[in-house]
Amino acid sequence: MSDQGPTEQFGEALRAALLAGSFPNPTREGCPQPDLLKKMAGKRRTLPVGDPVHVHVMQCSPCYQQLEGYRAQFRRRSTVAVAAAAIVVLAAGIGIYQVWPTLLNSNRPELNRVVDLRPFTVERSDRPANAIPPPVRLPPSPVQTIFYMPVGFEPGPCEIRILDSELKTRSSASGNAQLEDFQTVIHTRLDLDGLAPGRYTLMMRHPGADWRQFPLLIEPAAK
């Protein structure tokens, strides 16, 4: 039985529904400007809970997904800044300033995606076909990815593989599953550059454990 109270359970269910696209807004009616979403991502208390913009975001899947993407960028920039400061200190002591241009090039902007795997929690053979979650969609390029893991996926190191239709590994990565706001989340970078559009299989597991499989669709490259 969950230790969460009714408020926490409702909040978790609402976030899951927003990330899964349960509140579509194809015409983006009433959506705030991206600059305001960035401010909300950088500082959670930018707006009071009852503010109309805050209410809209909690009822609009595109806005909430965009907000989570900005939050991922802020977290990644903070991590990069700490790592960069540590490298400067080390370079001052052993004379390796020449690595700095390489580090700057490796931090080039990349795509960001929030992937919600929680709809795949229930695996039943008698589930209707129309109740099976749609495949995960990712672009054929390097992408910084936030995975919201299914219930029961424990925190800890995680191996990630992308298999093609012939079950050959086309890409691999690693990450660390951790709890954030009562959610098990993995932040990782997937290098999908060069993969042809089509269906693949996303494989994830803790080292030594059984693999979990999720359907993956590589989308055509944006023109």
Domain boundaries, the chain: 1-109, 111-218
The per-residue pLDDT for 97 is 44
The per-residue pLDDT for 108 is 45
pTM, whole model, 2 decimals? 0.49
Domain covering 111-218 in this structure, CATH number: 2.60.40
Distance CA 108, CA 135 (A): 28
Q: Best-predicted range by mean pLDDT among 1-5, 39-43, 113-117, 157-161?
A: 157-161
- Over residues 186-207, the pLDDT tens digits come to 999 999 988 999 999 999 999 9
**H or E stretch including 95?**
none
- Over residues 150-188, the pLDDT tens digits come to 888 899 999 999 999 889 999 999 999 998 888 899 999
Partner residues linked to 169 by β-bridges: 163
Q: Which of these, 15, 75, 81, lies nearest to 42 by C-alpha position?
A: 75
Instruction: State what percent of residues in the chain have pLDDT above 70.
Output: 71
Mean pLDDT of the chain: 78
Q: In what order do the strands lie in the sheet with 183-191?
A: 111-116, 142-148, 183-191, 169-180, 156-163, 198-205, 212-218, 136-138
- Over residues 92-147, the pLDDT tens digits come to 555 544 544 444 444 545 688 899 998 887 554 555 555 678 999 999 999 999 99
Alpha carbon 194 to its chain's center: 21
